[in-house]
Amino acid sequence: MFTGIVTDIATVRMVRDTNRDRRFEIGTAYDLSTVDIGASISHSGCCLTVVEKGADWFAVEVSGETLALTHLGDWKVGRRVNLERAAKVGDELGGHIVSGHVDGIGEVLSVTPEGGSRRVQFRAPRPLHRFIAPKGSITVDGVSLTVNAVEDDLFGVNLIPHTWEVTTLGDLAAGDRVNLEIDMLARYLARWRETA
């Protein structure tokens, strides 16, 4: 489990295909002596397992399904990636409860300055858009955000300068693809309504 609070911006330093899967080496500022092989780390919202590590890098392996259902299939050497280590019992829950299971790929429609902040509008894939609500939570590329407005399959968020500067969301431009995870409560409420 994660909270959607990014703790490092890492860089993809190697990409290698292995059969239908792909292996990434990720350069990081994390103290890797505190990261175990088998640890779960959120990579731009996608929970991946550490399979090898060096002094300033670690490796993850990504299945064909994950490559198809997230934007990880687009990653090249040099790509900046939001990282978050798994939450521990007793940690501050600064964002919201995030599973690291990407629900779909959204598209950035616009990035507009608004005071010192940025207003970003996204298009969510159907039928995922039904689970996004004004003032609800959403995870965009691993970052916990509050939804400001929703209109059909479009939704908007406001990014304060801090979030813009300390995550990869500061790189966003119209046309970019982003990993989306809807709020876990919305997911379970929708499932309950289907079966009730």
| Domain end (from 37, 54, 85) | 85
Nearest to 86 by CA among 16, 187, 185, 3: 3
* Pair 153, 129: CB distance under 8 Å: yes
Token pair recorded at residue 185: 């409560």
Q: What is the mean pLDDT of the chain?
A: 93
pLDDT value at residue 99: 86
Note whether 36 and 108 are same-domain residues. no
Overall number of domains in the chain: 2
pLDDT score recorded for residue 186: 73
**Where is the domain boundary, 57, 85, 113?**
85
The answer to whether residue 196 scores a pLDDT higher than 70 is no
End-to-end CA distance of the chain: 27
pLDDT digit string, tens, across residues 24-36: 999 999 999 999 9
Domain finish residue from 85, 119, 150: 85
> What's the pLDDT tens digit per position in 134-182?
999 999 999 999 999 999 999 999 999 999 999 999 999 999 999 999 9
Confidence class for position 188, pLDDT limits 50, 70, 90: confident
Q: Are residues 81 and 122 in the same domain?
A: no
pLDDT of 185: 78
pLDDT of 83 higher than 80:
yes
- Whether pTM exceeds 0.85: yes
Residue 34: what residue type?
T
Range of the domain at 185: 104-195
Q: Looking at residues 119-141, what average pLDDT do you find?
A: 94
Record the tokens describing residue 34, joined without a space.
Answer: 């505190």
| pLDDT > 70 fraction of the chain, expressed in percent and rounded | 97
Q: How far is CA 164 from CA 30, 95, 120, 144, 147, in A?
A: 21, 16, 11, 13, 16
Model confidence at 68: pLDDT above 70: yes
Return the structure tokens found at 175.
């046309």
Please tell me whether residue 194 adopts helix, strand or coil conformation. helix
